[in-house]
Amino acid sequence: MRMAGKWVFILTLTLGMMLPSWLMGTKVEAAEEDGLSDLIIFENVPQADETMEGNEFTLSALNVYEDGHFTKVNEGLVWKSENSNVATVEDDGTVTFTGQPGRAWVTVSNGDFEDRIALDFKPDRSTKGKPNFKPTIKKQDGDRYDLVQHALTNMTMEEKVGQMLMPDFRKWEGENVTEMLPEIEEMVQKYHLGGVILFRENVVTTEQTAKLVFDYQAASEKYGLLMTIDQEGGIVTRLQSGTDMPGNMALGATRSEEIAENVGSVIGAELESLGINMNFAPVMDVNNNPDNPVIGVRSFGENPELVGKMGVAYTKGLQQHGVAATAKHFPGHGDTATDSHLGLPEVPYDLERLKEVELYPFQQAMGAGIDAIMTAHITFPKIDDTKVISQKDGTEIALPATLSKKVLTGLMREEMNYDGVVVTDALNMKAIADHFGPVDAVIRAINAGTDIALMPVGLEEVAAGVYEAVESGEIPMATIEDSVERILTLKLNRGIIKEETPQPIDEKIAEAEKVVGSEAHKAVEKEAAERSITLVKNDGVLPLDASGDEQVVVIGDRFIGDLADAVSAHHSNTTLISTDKSELTAEQKQTVAEADKVIFGTYTYNVYSRSANHPQMQLMQDVMESTDTEVIGVGIRNPYDVMAYPGVDAYIAQYGFRDASFEATAATIFGANNPTGQLPVTIPGTDGGVLFEYGTGLSY
């Protein structure tokens, strides 16, 4: 709009890296001010992303201390613009461009120290035709802004090692940890921890989760904690009060990068509102092995290009909210038939094949600026044929990728040119814990190129062992400092900085409760679920008539009540038969005989549970053989379920057991949702052929 002869821009600017709405920490004691060595504008720091998308934004100031740490400060400051014709600045650092071309210098002072930054409003020469004017930040140069090097120079060895340790406090003395305990606070400080991972047991309600995360950050003495979680969506969903987004394979079935980005954005917004600043997602494994017991529907699919595109879109959504994203499990856990939680899998392929399939999505993620990569506890003998002796039974085994310098440094760092943070998968998993001692595993991981040791077994023993290894030279100090540099760089990139005067927890909780599980987020969940539903087979059975008097029977075992509830919402004349037996009782057979339509929901998670001799599949065959009515199969989790009953009259793949997916399946059965999902995987036949091709998907 035009006002008093000037164009006034009323636009909201979002810094590309988006500082969280509160930066973690506790109020610094007054005595600490004696160690204050500088005051700088955060946006001058090299790691701060200065990308702008509008004409109004807020600058931040940091106190820098002699011992290397830095904190966000927002009190006792004077902000001033030296050219208010171009840009004005408020008392809280909020800058507004007026629309007048030129450069403004904004300064901040606390009476002892001062810093300034250049703000330009000039033509964008990168576009053809009449140039558009755009605001940009011009960082200042100088050693004073190298906060990472300043910290490394002044940190103790123990502080550096602490940044690399990320334990879980899932339980304490057998009880779920849902609030800060004095013993945990002491461990955070004693070991100078750089981060903590949360699990479903820890994140029960929005209020409780926000308070727990707040208290963790308060316990951190100098550097903000990486507060991490596995909020993938689908079957791996930790937040108990959050929006239960469909998982990756469901997103892959939509074939929509927009939906993947929207889902990532919702997850990012909910985590950010709670103070959780890092997500161990997305899974970027290529699930080209139907027998995979641990990845499966956690993957976007079997096609490397699809996995790459969807993973990058999901990552973009997460990182829009300042939440660090993590691609996992490098170099690829998709083509395995062993769960690394339980054993040590092997991927036997050479580098050329890995580049075409397993490594392709990770390379795409790296190119798109993924914050972190999580390693896989898998052996890749064609990449590293190093043999070690297992502590479990004394046998000779191949070295897992998590502990392999050839994989993490040679392949990831040097050949694929990745310079971000590398975090191990959980070190308490049997693939590592069975074969390597707790201290030995962490030392090997660090020397291989890992930056963060996730869930080491026995924090006290591991910390002491790493200290000793550094002091003896077994782990070079340069290796430690390289890792800490990457960790602190990530924290600065994502605004994970202690705040001298944090936002009051009551305000934080109130804001989080508006975000977590909001109606807008539920709408994204609903759309993603509906677009994912894949009608794989339909011999003229579907859709059913919701208004008719037909008797519908829903049969199954796990999660079958959820499916029946969703069906009943569309068709009241619905009967549930819930059983884990391989045969129906006489009474149940009578119910099925009287049914007009049968819906059978199967739930599988490994090869045995979808095999012909599993009780639920025997029951399915019994039902199909004992009734003349049409049977509709629903693969509740794995699309591969239809391999056990290919003769079914209709088959729907829904890829997960969250409410929105059941509701979308029921809506599809009764024609309220026209299915558009496409199989992200090939369904093989039991004879070695193909039962249903990749991309199969019917509509009405």
Task: Tell me the Ramachandran region of residue 256: left when phi exceeds 0, alpha when psi lies from -120 to 50, beta otherwise.
Answer: beta
Point out the catalytic residue in the list 168, 425, 641, 649.
425
Helices (H), 296-422: 304-319, 351-356, 359-367, 405
**Phi and psi, residue 601, nearest 5°:** -100, 125
Contact 541, 647 (CB under 8 A): no
Residue (of 291, 167, 155, 266) closest to 221 by Cα position = 155
Contact 287, 681 (CB under 8 A): yes
Q: How far is CA 320 from CA 313, 366, 367, 494, 496, in A?
A: 11, 17, 17, 10, 15
For the question of residue 571 being annotated catalytic, the response is no
- The DSSP symbol for 227 reads E
Contact 190, 127 (CB under 8 A): no
Per-residue burial over 540-573, b = 16 or more CB atoms within 10 Å of its CB, e = otherwise:
ebbbbebeeeebbbbbbbbbbebbbbbbbebbee
308/295 Cα distance (integer angstroms): 16
Point out the catalytic residue in the list 341, 596, 622, 659.
341
644/603 Cα distance (integer angstroms): 12
Residue (of 662, 655, 656, 668) closest to 699 by Cα position = 668
Contact 653, 530 (CB under 8 A): no
Contact 396, 348 (CB under 8 A): no
For the question of residue 506 being annotated catalytic, the response is no
100/55 Cα distance (integer angstroms): 11
Residue 318, helix vs strand vs coil: helix
386/376 Cα distance (integer angstroms): 16
Tokens of residue 10, six digits: 């009323």
Residue 399, helix vs strand vs coil: coil
Per-residue burial over 24-50, b = 16 or more CB atoms within 10 Å of its CB, e = otherwise:
bbbebeeeeeeebebbbbbbbbebbbb
Q: Please list the active-site residues.
A: 341, 425
